[in-house]
């Protein structure tokens, strides 16, 4: 699918993807602003960098990510004044269209965006490594397939303080690419040589199921990011195709800071199309939209599973609800309210104690100290 076809009409999946990114940008920009004010930092600049930006608008008149990011920024004068945008697309026509759109909508934009038409690859990686971004940045990497996407690019984009990255992981193309020797170089750049070799060997087995293969690929992508960039906070969000059967792609968020992870987790949870006992799927499936949102399943009890896991994980420990959440939530689908519900139920069942502050009703405050037997 080329630019001309993709920008004819915005799909539901694309709309959700953009909504997640824009919601995070708004929260991220506010956090950076408040942090700089608190520490009395004079430099109020932030950077939004979109390496595959497109023309800014679909043929059906829906705005795409670059224009929606600017729309969010324009609601806060201080953020807009400090925002520096870098837009890149190798399609010269698309980048010119975007420039015209921004000039028409924001003729008095405080900082004129930088527009380039480069192939994303080693040149951009080298530039980011030799001239690291001097202020907090949010980088969006949204390629058509996988060309240009690499561990080195992601690592270079999150080097600075307050810098996070969101990237499009085209599972539909990457899954067959792992077994295609023609694109071996691209796959090694994405997973690292050893992980790619292991993936290719495992996935070549004829009896491996599609769900198991997907879980393995996403797990190895996450571990490769942790190893290469030193970021422990990584969140994947899955998108199913229009029939709801196959995975189309993932949106993957990478940050060095738990606060960013926490914020994005809540955003992705809200955009999940299915919840069971309040636990989000971290997936958007168009077919779920015709079903009840909180689906009950007699064989699926995630809150009970969480309760038992907490009792084992924190056996003999005394710590706050906040510390429990921070230590346990990584690489799980559980969000803050799930922990509060699980701990409240454990308290009512007399399976944990709270020697100081007691929970009230159905609530469980972040600072409540919990004693595990």
Judge whether 288 and 202 are in contact, CB under 8 Å: no
CA angle (198, 204, 205) in 5-degree steps: 105
Q: pTM of the full predicted structure? A: 0.94
When computed from its CA atoms, the radius of gyration of the chain, rounded to whole angstroms, is: 22
- Whether 2 shows a pLDDT value over 60: the answer reads no
What is the total residue count of the chain?
373
Say how far apart CA 88 and CA 198 lie, in whole Å: 34
Give the pLDDT of residue 1: 46
What confidence category does residue 122 fall into, taking pLDDT thresholds of 50, 70 and 90? Answer: confident
Q: Quick check: 226 and 232 in contact, CB under 8 A? A: yes
Q: Using one digit for the tens of pLDDT, what is the confidence trace for 30-62?
A: 999 998 888 766 567 999 999 999 999 998 899
- 302-313 and 321-328 helices, crossing angle to 10°: 100
Between the two ends of the chain, the Cα-to-Cα distance in Å is 57
* Cβ–Cβ under 8 Å, residues 157 and 163: yes
Report the alpha-carbon distance of residue 202 to residue 173 in Å, rounded. Answer: 18
Q: Is pLDDT at 97 greater than 50 in this prediction? A: yes
Rounded CA-CA distance 371/373 in Å is 6
80 pLDDT above the threshold of 80: yes
Start-end of H helices in 137-183: 151-157, 171-177
Residue 173 confidence (pLDDT): 94
Q: pLDDT at position 49, please? A: 96
Task: Let me know the angle formed at the C-alpha of 25 by 49 and 163, rounded to the nearest 5 degrees.
Answer: 55
Question: What's the burial of 305, exposed, middle or buried (CB within 10 Å: 0-12/13-18/19+)?
Answer: middle
Give the whole-number percent of the chain exceeding pLDDT 70.
Answer: 95
Q: Taking residues 88-100, what's their average pLDDT?
A: 96
Strand partners, 330: none
What's the mean pLDDT in 275-300?
80
For residue 159, what pLDDT is reported?
87
Instruction: Judge whether residue 219 has pLDDT over 70.
Output: yes
Residue 293's pLDDT band, with cuts at 50, 70 and 90, is low
The predicted model gives 240-258 an average pLDDT of 94
Q: Distance (Å, rounded) from C-alpha 102 to C-alpha 66?
A: 9
Mean pLDDT for the stretch of residues 169-191: 94
In angstroms, the CA 308 to CA 76 distance is 45
Q: What is the predicted pLDDT for the residue at 191?
A: 96
Q: Select from 206, 283, 261 the least CA-distant residue to 17.
A: 283
State the DSSP string of 13-75.
Answer: HHHHHHHHHHHHHHHHHHHHHHHHHHTT-S---EEEEETT---SB-TTS-B-HHHHHHHHHTT
Q: What is the mean pLDDT of the chain?
A: 92
Please, how many CA atoms are within 13 Å of residue 337, restricted to the half-sphere of its CB? 11
């Amino acid at each position: 699918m080329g630019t001309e076809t993709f920008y004819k009409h915005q799909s539901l999946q694309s709309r959700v993807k953009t909504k997640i990114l824009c919601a995070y940008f708004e929260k991220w920009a506010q956090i950076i602003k408040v942090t700089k004010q608190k520490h009395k930092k004079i430099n109020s600049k932030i950077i939004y960098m979109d390496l595959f930006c497109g023309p800014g608008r679909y043929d059906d008149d829906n705005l795409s990510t670059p224009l929606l990011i600017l729309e969010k920024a324009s609601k806060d004068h201080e953020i807009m004044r400090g925002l520096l945008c870098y837009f890149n697309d190798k399609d010269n026509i698309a980048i010119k269209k975007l420039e015209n759109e921004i000039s028409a909508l924001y003729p008095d934009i405080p900082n004129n965006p930088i527009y380039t038409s480069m192939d994303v690859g080693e040149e951009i990686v080298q530039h980011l490594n030799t001239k690291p971004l001097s202020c907090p940045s949010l980088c969006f990497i949204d390629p058509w397939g996988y060309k240009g996407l690499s561990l080195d690019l992601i690592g270079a984009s999150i080097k600075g303080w307050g810098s996070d990255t969101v990237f499009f992981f085209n599972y539909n193309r990457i899954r067959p690419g792992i077994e295609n020797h023609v694109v071996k170089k691209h796959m090694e750049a994405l997973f690292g040589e050893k992980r790619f070799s292991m993936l290719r060997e495992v996935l070549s087995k004829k009896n491996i199921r599609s769900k198991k293969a997907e879980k393995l690929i996403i797990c190895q992508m996450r571990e490769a990011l942790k190893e290469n960039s030193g970021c422990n906070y990584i969140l994947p969000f899955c998108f199913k195709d229009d029939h709801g059967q196959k995975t189309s792609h993932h949106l993957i968020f990478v940050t060095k800071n738990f606060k960013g992870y926490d914020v994005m987790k809540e955003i992705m949870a809200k955009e999940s199309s299915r919840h069971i006992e309040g636990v989000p799927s971290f997936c958007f499936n168009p077919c779920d939209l015709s079903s009840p949102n909180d689906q009950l399943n007699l064989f699926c009890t995630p809150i009970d599973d969480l309760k038992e896991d907490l009792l084992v994980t924190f056996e003999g420990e005394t710590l706050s609800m906040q510390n429990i959440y921070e230590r346990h939530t990584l690489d799980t689908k559980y969000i803050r309210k799930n922990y509060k519900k699980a701990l409240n139920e454990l308290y009512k069942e007399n399976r944990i104690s709270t020697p100081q502050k007691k929970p009230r009703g159905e609530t469980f405050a972040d600072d409540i100290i919990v004693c595990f037997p």
